[in-house]
Structure 1
Amino acid sequence: MAGLNRVMLIGRIGKDPETFTFEDGTKKIGFSLATTESYRDKSSGEWKDITDWHNIVAYRFLAERNVAKGDLIYVEGKIKTRKYTDKDGNNRYVTEIVAERFNMLSKYQPSEGNYQGGGQSTTTAETSSSPVKPEAPAATPEPEDDLPF
């Protein structure tokens, strides 16, 4: 049976990507991605966060995508571990996520102190001078009393 190596992450870019161009012109970018999970501590009842950092690399056309520190992105790819020898002759191992696709979920807006949502688009929506009418909440259906369970 064949194995499966698939990773899907949603997180924020930790620092601006580093770009590298190979001799043949192929581009590579590398960046760190933070994913955060929340849980409620049983003893204190407080919500706590656990953040994991992932090394992401992307090649060719993905390396030309415009992403920056703070952006919220979806990454899909596979885990790769590579071995190299450092300057002291020691063997080192690096585990990375090799991105096969990624989508911008929201662009970080440092001047506003918040984030812009909006799928894959990175353009800022134009603001209207007319007020926006809030939508009415959707009606919730009444529960049925004669359920078979």
Structure 2
Amino acid sequence: MNQVMFVGRIVRPIELKNLSDNSRVCNNVLAVRRRNKSKSGDADFIPFVAWNQTADLIKRYCQKGQQVALSGKMRSRSYDDKDGKTRYTIECIVDEVTLVSTRSKADQDQEILEEILETIQ
């Protein structure tokens, strides 16, 4: 069975990419704190990928630094970097996202303002 769940904070600003086949994808990293802190670091950084409606949800309701719970499955894959070297990676393919902490009132107000400005233009 391949089922994982992580609770952590989103590391980078949320970006949603529209692909040529009309699908959407969101790639980011989740910082997950370790229970027992050691000198080597106190967090693991888990790359994650969300597709379509899940990616839309993350783009709309999440932001860098926000705490979320992600559930999904781990997947390994390889790709060729810009120098032609084969690289290997493991990432979480997100099935569900749960908001653990809500966005600040200022962030919500800013989003409402941006939506109003988009409708005016």
What TM-score do you get using the length of structure 1 for normalisation? 0.62
2:47 aligned with 1:55, yes or no? yes
Alignment of 1:20-99 (within 5 A): 20-39=17-36, 50-65=42-57, 66=60, 67-99=62-94
2:63 is paired with a residue of what secondary structure?
Answer: coil
Match of 1:12 in 2: 9
2:102 is paired with a residue of what secondary structure?
Answer: strand
In 1: Cα distance, 2:105 partner to 2:81 partner: 37
How many residue pairs were aligned?
A: 103
> What letter corresponds to residue 88 of structure 1 in structure 2?
D
Which structure: larger Rg?
1
Q: How big is the alpha-carbon RMSD for the aligned residues of Structure 1 and Structure 2?
A: 2.3
In 1: Cα distance, 2:19 partner to 2:102 partner: 28
1:29 Cα shift?
A: 0.4
1:68 Cα shift?
A: 0.6
> What letter corresponds to residue 18 of structure 1 in structure 2?
E
1:34 and 1:108, CA in 2 relative to 1: closer, same or farther beyond 3 A? farther
In 2: Cα distance, 1:37 partner to 1:86 partner: 30
CA contact (8 A) 2:27 2:48 kept: yes
> What letter corresponds to residue 11 of structure 2 in structure 1?
G
1:110 and 1:88, CA in 2 relative to 1: closer, same or farther beyond 3 A? farther
Structure with the larger RCO, 1 or 2 (CA within 8 Å, 6+ apart): 2
What TM-score do you get using the length of structure 2 for normalisation? 0.75
CA contact (8 A) 1:70 1:107 kept: no
2:73 aligned with 1:104, yes or no? no
